[in-house]
Chains A and B, each alone.
Chain A
Amino acid sequence: MIRDITIGQYYPVDSKLHRLDPRVKIMCTLLYLISLFLFRNIYGYIVATIFLVSVIHISKVPFKFIVKGLKPIILLLMITVVFNLFLTKTGKVLLEFWILTITEDGLRTAVFMAIRLIYLILGSSLMTFTTTPNALTDGIEKLLWPFRKIKLPVHEIAMMMSIALRFIPILLEETDKIMKAQIARGADLENGNIIQKAKAMIPILVPLFVSAFRRATDLAMAMEARCYRGGDGRTKMKPLVYQKKDYIAYAITILYMAIAVIVGNI
């Protein structure tokens, strides 16, 4: 069930996009997301579509795989469309029945909004498809580095994220094992109302928490034993250094943004 969601997954192929510095991918995705809200006419959307399609092409991630990422937001998408469609009262009336009216403006905003949302998801999931969780954490750490001046524990946040990534699969497996063990002891996890179901989770959650804490204590000790003492004085095995291709990527994205904004506001 959890495994069906493709958002946030890494797709392991080797492409130009995969090899970019994670900071570039984070920043450019951010710029792209902002750009989606800066144009108002159809030309802007055309420019965005061209940009998105060519980036997807460069990424070598199959289009089908990316589209799968839209599944979990279908409901959200439908709600947005319905609201925009029926609640916009301005513009020429196209259709009227019972208390519902569809206007030209409403139709346009609904379609644009849907496209915007889809592009948003496609763009950001493209970033996670092409960047390993580790690289992403490194990128975030480096990007947030200046904020240490205002006492933001940047290194600690990044370390927490990477430890979480390391232990998620372990804890998933453990949950599975505990569930099986309690079922073997006669636990009923499927039947009953919400309260009964919540209660049935206790024999699973308590051991899971106990185990997580035990692992945390062990891990903390192992980290200390390997001389971990926070971010100060630490060197990096894989330091992030901008290459020529990274600057080119920045340039392309900014160029796209400029064109989209200019064309989109004619």
Chain B
Amino acid sequence: MSMIKAENLIFEYEKRDNEGNVIGVRRAIDDICLDIEPGQFIAILGHNGSGKSTLAKHMNAILVPNGGTMWVDGKDTKKEEHIWQVRQSAGMVFQNPDNQIIGTVVEEDVGFGPENLGVPTDDIWKRVEESLASVGMLEYRYHSPNKLSGGQKQRVAIAGVVAMRPKCIVLDEPTAMLDPNGRKEVLKTIEELRRKERITVILITHYMEEVVGADRVIVMDQGHIVMDGATHEVFSQVEKLKEYRLDVPQVTLLAYELKKRGYPIPDGILTTEELLKALVVCKKIDKAEENSQNERISFKREEEEPILRLEHVNYIYSPGNAYEKHALKDINLDIYEGQFLGIIGHTGSGKSTLIQHMNGLVKATDGAIYYKGENIYSEKYNLRQLRNNVGLVFQYPEHQLFEMDVLSDVCFGPKNQGLSDEECKERAIEALQLVGLPEKYYGVSPFELSGGQKRRVAIAGVLAMKPKVLILDEPTAGLDPKGRDEILDQIAYLQKAGNMTVVLVSHSMEDVAKYVDRIVVMNKGAKLFDDVPKAVFSQYKELEKVGLAAPQVTYMMHALWEQGIAVDTQATTIEEAVESISSALKK
């Protein structure tokens, strides 16, 4: 019997006006047929708004179809009497780790599901212990969930589902809000569960690297299933995947580009090893001499005064009590006008604390900061003026929107600067144009926009203040690959066209590699590297030690070099890599 079966599934969201009258419908799922065998690892891919989350909610009977039928473990989800059985056999893990943990102690949260099922007390304890052990969180059983990292919280959420002894786990973008370490943790946990407990896993995501191990990949677009097949099969259709706004892993993309140039490389390459094997077959070449094109580019400008200068900045959280933490350790940093700087580090590395120093939101415990040569800690220094010059866009900036319409929200900053109404409006419109938001949205409530649009509005809100330096904290978090590329392109455009100094904080090397001209790597509150991207990535072994990874291309190039193929190991983008590999193979 199939674990999950859908037949001509249709679901429509109703749009209502202010009085609650239905004014239209949006079809989120359109005539989907699906059959999932027990024990499989299924990945469902699709960009935001493709209907993949709506489909997931049908598997748990949180939503019931408007048309067609969904069977979970042979039970029709539309029937009232089946609802609890369905929810027990198909457990669900959601995106936001904070919003799905109910208990104030880890073990109590894991016990929540069994309690609801009416499991006897002794049995609950047994289940809690077993499921916490299966996700590797047993030692945290007495902890408060608030003190855990994102990845740990998601593992607790998974344990909470496992404790209900489901036959199938549906994970709805479980890694979207996590950093690379957290993502790895969660994926490893999923993999282990599948192997040991033989649970059917349905993973919904928009990161293609995460689904490499899946048995079957389903791609959704506009409520339809548009691709469905074995992972290798689906991944071999690079053009088609791009069309559906998906992100192909760098290695797959590299293989695809090389194949286009006529190299005999098989379709659907998923890992570095696979590509390496294919390329080594292509041609064996004697070990080449040391690369000559290693000219040193420096980001330093000796003669120029930096726009922002941090000198021996130290920051200590809650000094003198038990929670004391040395968040920043002796940071020295010169940022020059017009530079595009990337700050990389994982959660807790101090990168967010660092940028909050740059506009004076957080005051250093020790050290000095200069904006255009002036010490911002000197007594008469105007911090509000500094904040006008150094704009800071926080993580998930759309969570700070509050006005009735988009335009007034963007006006908030300029208004605080004391500008006249006309000037505010002018600035707001200019900023909205810069972020590429169509004019028809200006009068709309910001809460009605899509995730990507909201983020644009929020960024415009800071741009309208006409900052000289723009700092963005993880501006792409939670966006799908297409949305991410759009935002990053926009920022790169701002930096070039507006000659703005941009500081981009991220935990993804791949995101940053393409855009920035300098990278600062933060680790445990200290500056680990500060150099041009190529130089930083060439330290990929060091980066790995601190839990960061260089772009996949870097690994590929180094692996090729070790195989004796004379490629440029400093290539960081696909285009560079393709050029370098094909020229090396031609020799």
Given contacts A177-B394, A225-B60, A227-B117, contact A166 B103 (CB under 8 A): yes
Contact B112 A228 (CB under 8 A): yes
Q: What string of 1s and 0s marks CB contacts (under 8 Å) between B97-125 and chain A?
A: 01111111101100111111111110011
In the complex, whether B578 has a CB less than 8 A from a CB of chain A is: no
**Which residues of chain B are near A183, meaning CB under 8 Å?**
361, 387
Contact A184 B387 (CB under 8 A): yes
Contact A207 B462 (CB under 8 A): no
Whole-angstrom distance between the alpha carbons of A132 and B108 in the complex?
13
In the complex, whether A165 has a CB less than 8 A from a CB of chain B is: yes
Contact B400 A226 (CB under 8 A): no
Contact A186 B118 (CB under 8 A): no
In the complex, whether A140 has a CB less than 8 A from a CB of chain B is: no
**The residue from B91, B107, B115, B146 contacting A235, defined by CB atoms under 8 A apart:** B115
In the complex, whether B188 has a CB less than 8 A from a CB of chain A is: no
Q: What string of 1s and 0s marks CB contacts (under 8 Å) between B243-265 and chain A?
A: 00000000000000000000000
Give the dominant DSSP class at A's interface. helix
- By beta carbon, the residue of chain B nearest A209 is B402
Contact B88 A227 (CB under 8 A): yes
Whole-angstrom distance between the alpha carbons of A211 and B111 in the complex?
27
Whole-angstrom distance between the alpha carbons of A211 and B98 in the complex?
12
In the complex, whether B397 has a CB less than 8 A from a CB of chain A is: yes
In the complex, whether B392 has a CB less than 8 A from a CB of chain A is: yes
Contact B100 A165 (CB under 8 A): no
Given contacts A206-B402, A221-B94, contact A235 B392 (CB under 8 A): no
B400 to chain A, nearest CB (A): 4
B195 to chain A, nearest CB (A): 24
B147 to chain A, nearest CB (A): 10
In the complex, whether B84 has a CB less than 8 A from a CB of chain A is: yes
The segment from B199-207, B294-302, B412-420, B484-492 that touches chain A is: B412-420
**The residue from A134, A169, A174, A234 contacting B118, defined by CB atoms under 8 A apart:** A234
In the complex, whether A156 has a CB less than 8 A from a CB of chain B is: no
Whole-angstrom distance between the alpha carbons of A174 and B119 in the complex?
36
The segment from A40-48, A49-57, A64-72, A236-244 that touches chain B is: A236-244
Contact B462 A184 (CB under 8 A): yes
Contact A169 B447 (CB under 8 A): no
B35 to chain A, nearest CB (A): 23
Given contacts A185-B461, A203-B412, contact A219 B102 (CB under 8 A): yes
Contact A221 B361 (CB under 8 A): no
Contact A237 B115 (CB under 8 A): yes
Contact A185 B87 (CB under 8 A): no
Q: What string of 1s and 0s marks CB contacts (under 8 Å) between A166-185 and chain B?
A: 10011000100110111111
**Which residues of chain B are near A163, meaning CB under 8 Å?**
102
Given contacts A181-B394, A218-B94, contact A210 B99 (CB under 8 A): no
**The residue from A166, A181, A186, A218 contacting B417, defined by CB atoms under 8 A apart:** A186
Contact A227 B100 (CB under 8 A): no
Given contacts A225-B62, A227-B84, A237-B115, contact A180 B394 (CB under 8 A): yes
Contact B121 A227 (CB under 8 A): no
Contact B98 A170 (CB under 8 A): yes
Contact A218 B412 (CB under 8 A): no
In the complex, whether B182 has a CB less than 8 A from a CB of chain A is: no
Whole-angstrom distance between the alpha carbons of A221 and B56 in the complex?
13
A-facing residues in B404-422 (Cβ within 8 Å): 412-413, 416-417
Whole-angstrom distance between the alpha carbons of A234 and B119 in the complex?
8
Contact A238 B108 (CB under 8 A): yes
In the complex, whether B128 has a CB less than 8 A from a CB of chain A is: yes
In the complex, whether A1 has a CB less than 8 A from a CB of chain B is: no
B87 to chain A, nearest CB (A): 5
Whole-angstrom distance between the alpha carbons of A72 and B337 in the complex?
51
**The residue from A185, A207, A223, A224 contacting B465, defined by CB atoms under 8 A apart:** A185
- By beta carbon, the residue of chain A nearest B112 is A226
Whole-angstrom distance between the alpha carbons of A234 and B184 in the complex?
35
Whole-angstrom distance between the alpha carbons of A101 and B392 in the complex?
63
Contact A186 B108 (CB under 8 A): no
- By beta carbon, the residue of chain A nearest B96 is A218
A102 to chain B, nearest CB (A): 44
In the complex, whether B10 has a CB less than 8 A from a CB of chain A is: no
In the complex, whether A109 has a CB less than 8 A from a CB of chain B is: no
Contact B394 A218 (CB under 8 A): no
B49 to chain A, nearest CB (A): 17
**Which residues of chain B are near A233, meaning CB under 8 Å?**
118
In the complex, whether B401 has a CB less than 8 A from a CB of chain A is: yes
Given contacts A227-B113, A235-B121, contact A186 B465 (CB under 8 A): yes
Contact B116 A237 (CB under 8 A): no
**Which residues of chain A are near B92, meaning CB under 8 Å?**
222, 225
Contact A133 B104 (CB under 8 A): yes
Contact B124 A226 (CB under 8 A): no
- By beta carbon, the residue of chain A nearest B397 is A181
**The residue from A169, A177, A184, A236 contacting B391, defined by CB atoms under 8 A apart:** A184
B-facing residues in A192-239 (Cβ within 8 Å): 202-203, 206-207, 210-211, 214-215, 218-219, 221-229, 233-239
Contact A229 B116 (CB under 8 A): yes
In the complex, whether A162 has a CB less than 8 A from a CB of chain B is: yes
In the complex, whether B131 has a CB less than 8 A from a CB of chain A is: no
A-facing residues in B315-359 (Cβ within 8 Å): 356, 359
A162 to chain B, nearest CB (A): 7
Contact B91 A237 (CB under 8 A): no
**The residue from B102, B160, B402 contacting A202, defined by CB atoms under 8 A apart:** B402
Residue from A170, A184, A221, A224 having most chain B Cβ neighbours under 10 A: A184
Contact B416 A223 (CB under 8 A): no
In the complex, whether B164 has a CB less than 8 A from a CB of chain A is: yes
In the complex, whether B384 has a CB less than 8 A from a CB of chain A is: yes
In the complex, whether B283 has a CB less than 8 A from a CB of chain A is: no
In the complex, whether A187 has a CB less than 8 A from a CB of chain B is: yes
Contact B465 A134 (CB under 8 A): no
**The residue from A178, A185, A214, A218 contacting B100, defined by CB atoms under 8 A apart:** A218
Contact A162 B104 (CB under 8 A): yes
Contact B416 A222 (CB under 8 A): no
In the complex, whether A14 has a CB less than 8 A from a CB of chain B is: no
A166-B103, A227-B87 known; 17 new pairs, CB 8 Å cut-off, are A134-B105, A162-B102, A174-B399, A178-B399, A178-B400, A184-B394, A187-B412, A207-B402, A219-B99, A225-B62, A225-B94, A226-B87, A226-B160, A228-B116, A229-B84, A234-B116, A235-B124
Q: List 16 A-B contacts (CB under 8 A).
A: A165-B104, A170-B98, A174-B399, A177-B399, A181-B397, A206-B402, A207-B399, A207-B401, A210-B402, A218-B100, A219-B99, A225-B94, A227-B164, A234-B115, A235-B115, A237-B115
Closest 3 CB pairs of A and B: A186-B416, A237-B111, A222-B100
